Amino acid sequence: MIAANPQRTSVRSKKYDLLVFDWDGTLIDSAAAIVACLKAACRDLELTEPTDDSARHVIGLGLDEALLYLWPGLLPESGRALVERYRRHFFSRDHDIALFPEVLDGIKALHEDGFLLAVATGKSRRGLDRSLEATGLAPYFHGTRCADESFSKPHPGMLLDLMGALGAQPGRTLMIGDTTHDLKMAENAQVASLAVSYGAHPEHGLLAYSALGCMRDFAEVSAWLRENA
């Protein structure tokens, strides 16, 4: 969902016009639930469970790409059944998954300061819309893009789609995310990135990329953006 050419509300000079956030593990504390639901779906179908590290690694990818990474030889019918079981488990508990501390106030403040705000996520459109409404963040984003309506990360497609619809240039766009998939997508789109280390991927992996910084919580993200964006 993308709203074209929204009205800017601030005249203060900024380095970036468009801030694009990942969702799971960046704004919402869902990584542990995603891992648990993947494992539960495997148990339902008597498939080998992934390790916690492997399951966390695929967070941020589209479900099809995640399944291909975790089970390269999985038959299509088994893949469809696994997706159905995973979604059933996740939707049964997603109402209990909370935003990270200070995210709601931080996103509101960025919106009020006149930034264009967007989400690029490996979630499905159905899943993101449910989560946006449940968390109260829906009114603050000018555009969103999901893996089931574009290419999966780290392909640059979601960022290119958002920049095109919102009239932003790569040099004035910043991607904020918790996975190497986010950072690689930003590189592929020739967009600057900011990493967060409190989500799905460990800090040492994030530091291998050319992010402008690696933040330990969302309060640090907000402070960095106030000073640098």
Residues with a catalytic annotation lie at: 22, 24
Q: Quote the CA–CA distance of 103 and 23 in Å, as a whole number.
A: 11
Query: Distance between terminal CA atoms of the chain?
Result: 24
Q: Quote the CA–CA distance of 46 and 25 in Å, as a whole number.
A: 28
One-letter amino acid at 142 equals H
Q: Which two tokens stand for residue 92?
A: 């049964």
State the virtual CA torsion across 201, 207, 213, 214 in degrees, nearest 10.
30
Q: Quote the CA–CA distance of 30 and 27 in Å, as a whole number.
A: 9
Residue 170 CB neighbours (<10 A): 15
